[in-house]
Chains A and B, each alone.
Chain A
Amino acid sequence: MCASVKYNIRGPALIPRMKTKHRIYYITLFSIVLLGLIATGVFQFWPHSIESASDWSVEKRSVRDVPLVRLPADSPVPERGDLSCRMHTCFDVYRCGFNPKNKIKVYIYSLKKYVDDSGVPVSSTISREYNELLTAISDSDYYTDDISRACLFVPSIDVLNQNTLRIKETAQALAQLSRWDRGTNHLLFNMLPGGPPDYNTALDVPRDRALLAGGGFSTWTYRQGYDVSIPVYSPLSAEVDLPEKGPGPRRYFLLSSQMAVHPEYREDLEALQAKHGESVLVLDKCTHLPEGALSLRKRCHRHHVFDYPQVLQEATFCVVLRGARLGQAVLSDVLRAGCVPVVIADSYILPFSEVLDWKRASVIVPEEKMLDVYSILQSIPQRQVEEMQRQARWFWEAYFQSIKAIALATLQIINDRIYPYAAISYEEWNDPPTVKWGSVSNPLFLPLIPPQSQGFTAIVLTYDRVESLFRVITEVSKVPSLSKLLVVWNNQNKNPPEDSLWPKIRVPLKVVRTAENKLSNRFFPYDEIETEAVLAIDDDIIMLTSDELQFGYEVWREFPDRLVGYPGRLHLWDHEMSKWKYESEWTNEVSMVLTGAAFYHKYFNYLYTYKMPGDIKNWVDAHMNCEDIAMNFLVANVTGKAVIKVTPRKKFKCPECTAIDGLSLDQTHMVERSECINKFASVFGTMPLKVVEHRADPVLYKDDFPEKLKSFPNIGSL
């Protein structure tokens, strides 16, 4: 190749002689290259295809083909579960190490088939539900296939149902897992614990320190803050399609649908039915129907046949009674039907009770009060009942619906214990989506009047109107509670005046230079702001009196979570145009204040800069307008409260300024501002502004009272 390059450089003299030779040469070279490319292509995909083929064979193999493990009869058995275990005693957090995403890593052991010495299997290999559960974990963010990085280990040994396993041998199988280490950081899932005759409320398999996600814990076996109480999955969830039914009164007030009810309790239930007649329905299995799979989905009362679980939707309250086990799959069906469960199972730890507030979705009645159930339920106001119905359905959708939902909720609970500072809140666990949407949680919820001594920081945004700026500085510095003045110099082409030229004032004055001429610079949370109260003021607002500003600050102290400003504005719904309109006329109502001069909490600067929804911030900077409307939207949206307009002031027009082409400018201005409101309302997805009919004046404002005795005599004019 080098040669050919040389040749190329040398020029045309040699060409005729070497012509045919070269052609052959090139053709061979070309074919080599071509072949090479083809080979590369094959190389590129060939190993992949080999690997994916082998993957395929690994992943898509049969459960029957898994490796066999023979457990010697004398292999070690773990200790029984340690009842005193807590996260900080039995759980090894070092394995969870540092994780920037605050997510634990979960490893799943590969599936094996365990047999004892004589070759008899220890249990059936894996159930459909456990396979689904492990798939759900594997598909989640928690999963890792790197055993050395894992924080939590999930054995593939299926212990969902204790009846299907041999206890001692299962324990031996657990003990020989490669990272077992007394069960530390191992998580077992069990839905049906115990066995005849005494039906323990926790899995009987000795498991030492392993965490247990169990369905049917009682207060005696549940290790608070260590174990996780899970629901008993109802296979009907997947089999039957049950459309949602809204809350409201239903045909039956109270329904019992369980087949296996202890005779004593059945007597009680029937007594209830006898007493209250039609409104109580006690169902039993159908004796006169042919046996079969279908009969499981039928319930009978005398000779009436009802479809199960559809019948649950006909009742307001549904009894969930303890059977041999505390955890009952019927709970899941009942929740799904939007029927409020009446849980009658003393000492039962309800599913996910660590995070779910069952008081909102169920009624818990002690077993000895069974006969009073009806009167207890009747004392609940209808509004609360409907709330509970909604809540019940939401719990099912979020946490009961599928094996996946159950698995992920369990892992989330454990995750929250390990990274408590990133834990999910009560509201996130419990509030249905509609409530989450409608509710407002004010970030400054504590009723508090900040001390006057703190004062406020005035922030003046300026470009180059130095003369006017200096007047503003001089005026504002007369306000007694001013503690600092911050000038935001928004002009990159011009330096601020020299230090010696600035007015001498009694408080510190700082100049901050910005990198870009943007309106949002006025709402930046500068480190220099040391007070909670911020006064945003334009560099041409010289008409506000010292009394007016001081009073504004005092009003802010009484309403520290609101925007407190002077001229008020209003938004109106234009019925003709079907959109919002900006209004600056003399109205009796106010929903916004101009931030040309306004007091507010500095936290809102942080919100404006970092948490402003959508593209509003950029939009404002691009249009060089409406930053004040954006701020009004933001504060009203996050606090759910209205602004406070202070004193009679209606506009900021300075007397000296002459309006240039006043009217038409005003017109376009109004149109732009209206556009802003419509734009912001669509970004926020709602209209957060609140309309009020009041403004704040000093207590003795315009009262017949000696002026010299008033605190704020000079409150200014319109």
Chain B
Amino acid sequence: MQSWRRKSLWLALSASWLLILLGFFPLLRLAVPSRPWAGTPQGWPHWLDAEFLQSFSQPRELLEDVPQPPQAPRGGSCDWGACFDTSKCKGGGLKVFVYPAAGLISETRRRILASIEGSRYHTSSPAEACLLLLLSPDTPAGECSPVPPHWNGGRNHLVLSLHPAPCPRTFQLGQAMVAKASPTVDTFRHGFDVALPLLPEAHPLRGGPPGQLQQHSPQPRVAQLALAEERGGWHTAGTNFSVCPWDGRCEQNHGPKLTHPGATLPNATFCLIPGRHPDALHFLQALQAGCIPVLLSPHWELPFSEVIDWTKAAIIADERLPLQVLAALQEMPLTRVLALRQQTQFLWDAYFSSVENVIHTTLEIIQDRILGVSAHPSLQWNSPPGALLALPTFSTSLSDFPFYHIQQGSRPVGRFSALIWVGAPGKPPLKLIQAVAGSQHCAQILVLWSSEKPPPPRWPETTVPLTVSEGHRKVSDRFFPYSAISSDAILSLDAHSSLSTSEVDFAFVVWQSFPERMVGFLTWSHFWDEARGGWGYTAERANEFSMVLTSAAFYHRYYHTLFTHSLPKALRTLADEAPTCVDVLMNFLVATVTKLPPIKVPYRKQNQEARPPLAPEGRGPRLEPQPPVRDCINQLAAGFGRMPLVSSRLRLDPVLFKDSVSVLRKKYRSLEKP
């Protein structure tokens, strides 16, 4: 009884507590006049008659709107469709005529004109040209613009002003496109004008300094933030920028700060650049330095914004939300910081490092507009090696190029074409043909017969098709993009080359892992010759190398297209005149594209043929320690504006190469035979 009572008492007690707890709040809510619940969104109402609502347009209205005749452009404003006549640009891509300089001109201007004239776009006939280029005067001494002779209301003209014009133009721009530095967003005509970067006075014409970034990730102790100063310098905030280094307003508050009046390049992870017009100059400095530009409401159009995806390399933020921007920078994931930093460097090298690059990029943009569907895809503009080195005339499919396989998840085609150049002695390289044809990866053999003697009527029977073509006197012809070449890989050979099937097989398998590089057997290395104050190169065997000889090398067929269609004529002529130079030139070209060294694979006859006689006519056996035309490398370095070659200290061998295990285990056993 008692326990019953006690139990019920406890029950009653707890129940009344429950009552109070549960009952109090609802009672309170009843007592206080109810108001809309804060926090729980009401949302857009669900109408009872939502089903019966009328559509915004009658079906008939959508289908049968009144057709209108074509419209003419309004208010003198221009866009691509209205003001550019593409009918003049049929075939052969963009042909550019440059107005020759009249009167006294500055040295830089003369060199710029020369550079355009030497480029692949140039034509000397204004009638044939599809684009007429007028270089805006850059010095007050320069003649101030009489109307050019073929003006025609500015149609198909591009007025290029690299620097702000010193004198007012005396004629109307009319239908001409304008390419100028940092145009204001209000006057810029999208898809018609071209926005250029604001270049410093002393920007190099060609080549240009490489990006400053030496490592992928930011150094741990480097400042996180640098702020562009009005005087032109950079002002570095400490590693912690929780306090605002904004316009110098709270300067006194923050920790260690350094001002480098002399240093022009910032050393920080992020570079804050105000949106005012003169600060555009800082933008390029930040890019070069690998400092991620944080642009605060820029009032100017970003350079080449038509094709460059700036969100991959810079942060365009609103200057009115400084704290949010700073917080966002601090919280930015490492992966994004890495990507942004690397992109700044790629963009700098590909499009901004020299005046020539800037001009070529401008012309390439206009060419893309003309090409329409076959223009560069966005990926080519925005990933290495960049659109200037990826010719759209080669292919519109990304997997045909050697650069995008990883991004695309594709692989190069699994066969190669052997290209054998037969020079002066004119003896058919029968042994070589047999060795190459023996490779399971060989798709075809092409013989380029360039000897005075006629080719023999009979060629050995091979398992793969063999084609002989005649009459290639010029050395540079061996790098012509022959349409007969169907595979991605080319094995370039000389009649004197001596390779075994095993060597060919292994080298090709290696090439498949590195389709953008050259994979070769014999190497040269370049060096800086202090005594002569120039570059030199040597065929001596050494612990490192930077070139592989094209007398026996695998590379992608795209490089033939690039060699023939993108190199300035002057450089190709140089190679034709001094045939040893052609190897150096090809290596320069590939290194410019990849920024990496070529790859060396083992070669059996290394010892007997340390200096292979790879010369066709006139080259002679190369027995001297130095290749004969030593100045070739210096002329090429001048032509490229920099030394692109990179040295490597490794060789790729088969996994079990010369290991002390049974030969039977080894796949490439004949590679090891003495």
Q: Is A618 an interface residue, CB under 8 A from the partner?
A: no
- Bound state CA distance, A93 and B373, in angstroms? 38
Q: Check A699–B338 contact: CB distance below 8 A.
A: no
Q: B661 to nearest A CB, angstroms?
A: 5
* Stretch with Cβ within 8 A of A (4 or more), from B174-182, B539-547, B613-621: B539-547
Q: Check B54–A128 contact: CB distance below 8 A.
A: yes
Q: Check B12–A26 contact: CB distance below 8 A.
A: yes
Question: Which of B's residues lie within 8 Å of A, judged by CB?
Answer: 1-2, 5-6, 8-9, 12-13, 15-16, 18-19, 22-23, 26-27, 29-30, 34, 38, 41-50, 53-57, 59-71, 74-75, 77, 79, 81-82, 86-87, 185-186, 189-191, 213-217, 219-221, 275, 297, 299, 309, 311-312, 315-321, 323-325, 327-329, 332, 334-335, 338-339, 342, 345-346, 372-375, 377-378, 382-384, 395-397, 406-409, 506, 509-510, 513, 523, 541-545, 594-597, 600-601, 606-607, 646, 648-661, 665-668
Residues of A within 8 Å of B653, CB to CB, are 694-697, 701
Q: Check A710–B338 contact: CB distance below 8 A.
A: no
Cross-interface CB contact of B70 among A61, A86, A346, A700, cutoff 8 Å: A346
Cross-interface CB contact of A158 among B27, B56, B596, cutoff 8 Å: B56
Residues of A within 8 Å of B6, CB to CB, are 8
- Bound state CA distance, A8 and B7, in angstroms? 11
Knowing A219-B191, A586-B661, A588-B656 touch, does A15 contact B186 (C-beta < 8 A)? no
Q: A335 to nearest B CB, angstroms?
A: 16
Q: Check A699–B56 contact: CB distance below 8 A.
A: no
Residues of B within 8 Å of A454, CB to CB, are 214-215
In the complex, what residue of chain B is closest to A377 when comparing beta carbons?
A: B373
- Bound state CA distance, A109 and B128, in angstroms? 60
- Bound state CA distance, A693 and B510, in angstroms? 7
Within A415-461, the residues touching B (CB, 8 Å) are 418-423, 425-426, 430, 438-451, 454
Q: Check A98–B339 contact: CB distance below 8 A.
A: no
Residues of A within 8 Å of B77, CB to CB, are 220
- Bound state CA distance, A380 and B384, in angstroms? 25
Knowing A138-B44, A158-B56 touch, does A692 contact B513 (C-beta < 8 A)? yes
Q: Check B594–A447 contact: CB distance below 8 A.
A: yes
- Bound state CA distance, A258 and B65, in angstroms? 10
Most chain-B Cβ atoms within 10 A of its Cβ — which of A108, A232, A695? A695
Residues of B within 8 Å of A603, CB to CB, are 216-217, 334, 338
Q: B79 to nearest A CB, angstroms?
A: 5
- New A-B contacts (20) at CB < 8 Å, excluding given A220-B74, A261-B67, A693-B509: A88-B318, A145-B41, A163-B57, A163-B61, A192-B56, A233-B56, A367-B70, A384-B373, A448-B214, A551-B650, A554-B649, A558-B649, A601-B216, A603-B338, A693-B506, A693-B655, A695-B657, A697-B653, A701-B653, A701-B658
Residues of B within 8 Å of A440, CB to CB, are 406-407, 409
Q: Is A306 an interface residue, CB under 8 A from the partner?
A: no
Q: Is A87 an interface residue, CB under 8 A from the partner?
A: yes
In the complex, what residue of chain B is closest to A198 when comparing beta carbons?
A: B68
Residues of B within 8 Å of A192, CB to CB, are 56-57, 61
- Bound state CA distance, A710 and B543, in angstroms? 6
Q: Is A322 an interface residue, CB under 8 A from the partner?
A: yes
- Bound state CA distance, A26 and B61, in angstroms? 80
Q: Mark A27-70, 1 if CB is under 8 A from B, else 0.
A: 00110011011011101101100010001001111111000000
Q: Check A449–B596 contact: CB distance below 8 A.
A: yes
Q: Check A648–B659 contact: CB distance below 8 A.
A: yes
Cross-interface CB contact of A43 among B27, B297, B395, cutoff 8 Å: B27
Knowing A59-B46, A425-B311 touch, does A98 contact B317 (C-beta < 8 A)? no
Knowing A40-B22, A145-B43 touch, does A588 contact B666 (C-beta < 8 A)? yes
Residues of B within 8 Å of A442, CB to CB, are 406
In the complex, what residue of chain B is closest to A15 when comparing beta carbons?
A: B2
Cross-interface CB contact of B217 among A37, A108, A323, A602, cutoff 8 Å: A602
Q: Check B55–A62 contact: CB distance below 8 A.
A: no
* A: contact size bracket: 35 or more
Q: Check A191–B655 contact: CB distance below 8 A.
A: no
22 A-B pairs within 8 Å (CB atoms) are namely A40-B19, A40-B26, A62-B47, A62-B48, A86-B185, A96-B321, A126-B53, A138-B41, A293-B59, A420-B315, A420-B317, A425-B312, A440-B407, A586-B661, A588-B667, A693-B506, A697-B657, A699-B523, A699-B545, A701-B653, A712-B543, A718-B659
The 8 A-B residue pairs whose C-beta atoms are closest, nearest first, are A138-B44, A262-B67, A438-B409, A127-B56, A446-B342, A43-B26, A346-B81, A88-B297
Q: Check A61–B63 contact: CB distance below 8 A.
A: no
Residues of A within 8 Å of B510, CB to CB, are 693-694
Q: Check B65–A324 contact: CB distance below 8 A.
A: yes
Q: Is A369 an interface residue, CB under 8 A from the partner?
A: yes
Knowing A15-B1, A93-B320, A448-B595 touch, does A694 contact B513 (C-beta < 8 A)? yes
- Bound state CA distance, A710 and B79, in angstroms? 64
Residues of B within 8 Å of A694, CB to CB, are 506, 509-510, 513, 601, 652-655
- Bound state CA distance, A449 and B648, in angstroms? 10
- Bound state CA distance, A712 and B542, in angstroms? 12
Knowing A448-B214, A710-B543 touch, does A127 contact B59 (C-beta < 8 A)? no
In the complex, what residue of chain B is closest to A136 when comparing beta carbons?
A: B44
- Bound state CA distance, A641 and B191, in angstroms? 38
Q: Is A360 an interface residue, CB under 8 A from the partner?
A: yes
- Bound state CA distance, A11 and B2, in angstroms? 10
- Bound state CA distance, A178 and B309, in angstroms? 39
Q: Is A75 an interface residue, CB under 8 A from the partner?
A: no
Q: B189 to nearest A CB, angstroms?
A: 8
In the complex, what residue of chain B is closest to A190 when comparing beta carbons?
A: B56
Residues of B within 8 Å of A323, CB to CB, are 65-68
Most chain-A Cβ atoms within 10 A of its Cβ — which of B219, B311, B660? B311
Q: Check B81–A347 contact: CB distance below 8 A.
A: yes
Q: Check A191–B56 contact: CB distance below 8 A.
A: yes
Knowing A425-B311, A448-B595, A449-B596 touch, does A369 contact B86 (C-beta < 8 A)? yes
Q: Check B65–A699 contact: CB distance below 8 A.
A: no
- Bound state CA distance, A418 and B320, in angstroms? 11
Residues of B within 8 Å of A43, CB to CB, are 22-23, 26-27, 30
Q: Is A363 an interface residue, CB under 8 A from the partner?
A: yes
Q: Is A4 an interface residue, CB under 8 A from the partner?
A: yes
- Bound state CA distance, A58 and B506, in angstroms? 77
Residues of A within 8 Å of B652, CB to CB, are 694-697
Knowing A58-B45, A322-B68, A425-B312 touch, does A530 contact B53 (C-beta < 8 A)? no
- Bound state CA distance, A296 and B64, in angstroms? 10
- Bound state CA distance, A588 and B182, in angstroms? 57
Residues of B within 8 Å of A12, CB to CB, are 2
- Bound state CA distance, A369 and B548, in angstroms? 49
Q: Mark A323-341, 1 if CB is under 8 A from B, else 0.
A: 1110001000000000000
Residues of B within 8 Å of A225, CB to CB, are 185
Q: A534 to nearest B CB, angstroms?
A: 12
Q: Check A129–B319 contact: CB distance below 8 A.
A: no
Residues of A within 8 Å of B543, CB to CB, are 698-700, 709-712
Residues of A within 8 Å of B63, CB to CB, are 258-260, 285, 296
Knowing A262-B67, A439-B408, A447-B384 touch, does A421 contact B328 (C-beta < 8 A)? yes
- Bound state CA distance, A5 and B57, in angstroms? 78
- Bound state CA distance, A710 and B42, in angstroms? 78
Q: Is A568 an interface residue, CB under 8 A from the partner?
A: yes
Q: Is A143 an interface residue, CB under 8 A from the partner?
A: yes
- Bound state CA distance, A555 and B668, in angstroms? 23
Q: Check A22–B5 contact: CB distance below 8 A.
A: yes
Q: Check B320–A94 contact: CB distance below 8 A.
A: yes
Residues of B within 8 Å of A692, CB to CB, are 513
Q: A632 to nearest B CB, angstroms?
A: 16
Residues of A within 8 Å of B658, CB to CB, are 648, 701-702
Cross-interface CB contact of B655 among A263, A360, A587, cutoff 8 Å: A587
- Bound state CA distance, A369 and B373, in angstroms? 14
Q: Is A542 an interface residue, CB under 8 A from the partner?
A: no
Cross-interface CB contact of B377 among A8, A360, A421, cutoff 8 Å: A360
Residues of A within 8 Å of B338, CB to CB, are 443-444, 603
Knowing A161-B57, A296-B60, A359-B377 touch, does A324 contact B216 (C-beta < 8 A)? no
